[in-house]
Homo-oligomer: A and B are copies of this chain.
Amino acid sequence: MGRWEPDAQGRLERAALELYAERGFDHTTVAEIAQRAGVTERTFFRHFTDKREVLFRGDELARSIADTLTTMPESLAPLAAVTAAFESTADFFDERRPYSKKRQAVIDANPALQERESIKLASIATLIGEALRGRGVPEPAASLTAEAGTAVFKVAFVRWLDDPAERSIAVHIRETVAQLRAVTAG
């Protein structure tokens, strides 16, 4: 095993997911993940703090969505800007549909991972709320729009995973925000 380890992070993610699917999250060790990925445990810990975080990529996604939101045209209404920021993740997710499905199956089987997912979504909403206030949106509209936009993403994500037609997550986000408008207009 050389010093040069191309895409060690990606290999570790795929190895971890395979092992979680095969023997369960609780029965997989970091040593086993590193071995399957062909790297040392030390390399594992350069990329992830623990075996749970392999599934959550250090919350990069939350930061990326909030950063994208700051680049949206001022003329967009807050919810439209948030929705567009979530849609900007489409390339990332659509490419990773098989990985995302396996990942979701592991999370669905483990309450502690579901809790980690809830915390991640809450932190996305917090970052979006901050970005909206930075765009001059007052309270409580900023917090509400951030929470509502994150709820749209949460629901759209499940529908995207289950879509037999495999349409882009961007399509599901747009359909779901239309549904949100319908239930709130109710």
Binds B, one of A11-19, A51-59, A86-94, A177-185: A177-185
Copies of this chain per assembly: 2
Complex Cα–Cα for A5 and B143 (A)? 43
**Chain A 148-183 residues near chain B, CB threshold 8 A:** 148, 151-152, 154-155, 158-159, 176, 179-183
Contact of A186 among B77, B119, B155 (CB under 8 A): B77
B144 near A186 with CB under 8 A, answer no
**Chain A 81-140 residues near chain B, CB threshold 8 A:** 115, 118-119, 121-122, 140
Q: How many residues of A contact B (CB 8 A)?
A: 31
Chain B residues whose C-beta falls within 8 Å of the C-beta of A148 in the assembled complex: 147-148, 151, 180, 183-184
A144 near B79 with CB under 8 A, answer no
Contact of A145 among B140, B159, B183 (CB under 8 A): B183
Contact of A144 among B119, B122, B147, B151 (CB under 8 A): B151
Complex Cα–Cα for A154 and B148 (A)? 11
A80-B186, A148-B184, A184-B148 in contact; A179/B119 too (CB < 8 A)?
no
Contact of A140 among B115, B141, B144, B179 (CB under 8 A): B179
Chain B residues whose C-beta falls within 8 Å of the C-beta of A145 in the assembled complex: 183
Complex Cα–Cα for A141 and B152 (A)? 11
Chain B residues whose C-beta falls within 8 Å of the C-beta of A147 in the assembled complex: 148, 151, 154-155
Chain B residues whose C-beta falls within 8 Å of the C-beta of A144 in the assembled complex: 151-152, 155, 176, 179-180, 183
Rounded to whole Å, the gap between the CB of A127 and the closest CB of chain B is: 13
Chain B residues whose C-beta falls within 8 Å of the C-beta of A181 in the assembled complex: 184-186
A selection of 11 A-B contacts at a CB cut-off of 8 Å is A78-B183, A78-B186, A80-B186, A115-B119, A115-B122, A118-B118, A121-B122, A122-B122, A140-B159, A148-B183, A181-B185
